[in-house]
Chains A and B, each alone.
Chain A
Amino acid sequence: GNSVTQMEGPVTLSEEAFLTINCTYTATGYPSLFWYVQYPGEGLQLLLKATKADDKGSNKGFEATYRKETTSFHLEKGSVQVSDSAVYFCALSDRSSNTGKLIFGQGTTLQVKP
């Protein structure tokens, strides 16, 4: 079946450090891939997405590239800020089901210290 695996958290970084959050997936079809972010006290917000292999999604300085050969969609940011502290979720939507159903990883908590 379809699944998403994220690196364990929490991840604690100093401001301006480089961020990588690993995400790998298993899918029976050809998925779209997403990163959602949940700031404290708020709902999930789409951060970026990619719908086909080698696509790069980007937003607010964050990037992730759809790697079909390694079934990965790692999230990166060159210089994190305190305001990036949040929980990050990797998710997929499988084209074969055609329902748009999102399958989420367990989430990775990021803490950025000044």
Chain B
Amino acid sequence: EAGVAQSPRYKIIEKRQSVAFWCNPISGHATLYWYQQILGQGPKLLIQFQNNGVVDDSQLPKDRFSAERLKGVDSTLKIQPAKLEDSAVYLCASSSLAGGWGDTQYFGPGTRLTVL
């Protein structure tokens, strides 16, 4: 079974530029998560999708971040405009069930973003 795919693996941009990350979850997984991991910290949830609907986006900085999951499969996370503090690893995860409290989440390799 193929794992969670993410691209690109690395991205370097200047502040105020825009950037987009792509995620393809494990086939058949209904729930998709985007986490932000700042160096030296644990991942923090940005947004959770159930199929193509948003379940939780309470910690997504909506003035600059946006995400979509068209057709309930692939997802894109966008930052526009980027700030220095957005430098982090962006992790995508998926789970097979309803995204409940006991489900196992499977993580992709992440995209490392550096904002100069």
The answer to whether the Cβ of B62 comes within 8 Å of any Cβ in the partner chain is no
Considering the chains assembled together, what is the distance between the CA atoms of A46 and B94 in angstroms?
Answer: 12
The answer to whether the Cβ of A21 comes within 8 Å of any Cβ in the partner chain is no
For chain B, the bracket of interface size reads 20 to 34
Taking a contact as CB atoms under 8 Å apart, the answer to whether B42 and A101 are in contact is no
Collect the chain B residues with CB atoms within 8 Å of residue A43's CB: 3-4, 91, 107-110
From known contacts A93-B101, A99-B99, A101-B48, infer whether A106 and B42 are also in contact, taking CB-CB under 8 Å: yes
The answer to whether the Cβ of B14 comes within 8 Å of any Cβ in the partner chain is no
The answer to whether the Cβ of A82 comes within 8 Å of any Cβ in the partner chain is no
The answer to whether the Cβ of B40 comes within 8 Å of any Cβ in the partner chain is yes
Taking a contact as CB atoms under 8 Å apart, the answer to whether A100 and B42 are in contact is no
The majority secondary structure among interface residues of chain B is loop
Considering the chains assembled together, what is the distance between the CA atoms of A97 and B102 in angstroms?
Answer: 11
The answer to whether the Cβ of A25 comes within 8 Å of any Cβ in the partner chain is no
Report A52 CB to chain B, min CB distance, Å: 9
Number of residues on chain A facing chain B (CB within 8 A): 27
The answer to whether the Cβ of B70 comes within 8 Å of any Cβ in the partner chain is no
Interface residues in A23-42 by Cβ distance below 8 A to B read 31-32, 36, 42
B residues sitting closer than 8 Å to A (CB atoms) are: 3-4, 31, 33, 35, 40-45, 48, 55-56, 91, 93, 95, 98-110
A residues sitting closer than 8 Å to B (CB atoms) are: 4, 31-32, 36, 42-46, 49, 51, 89, 91, 93-95, 97-107
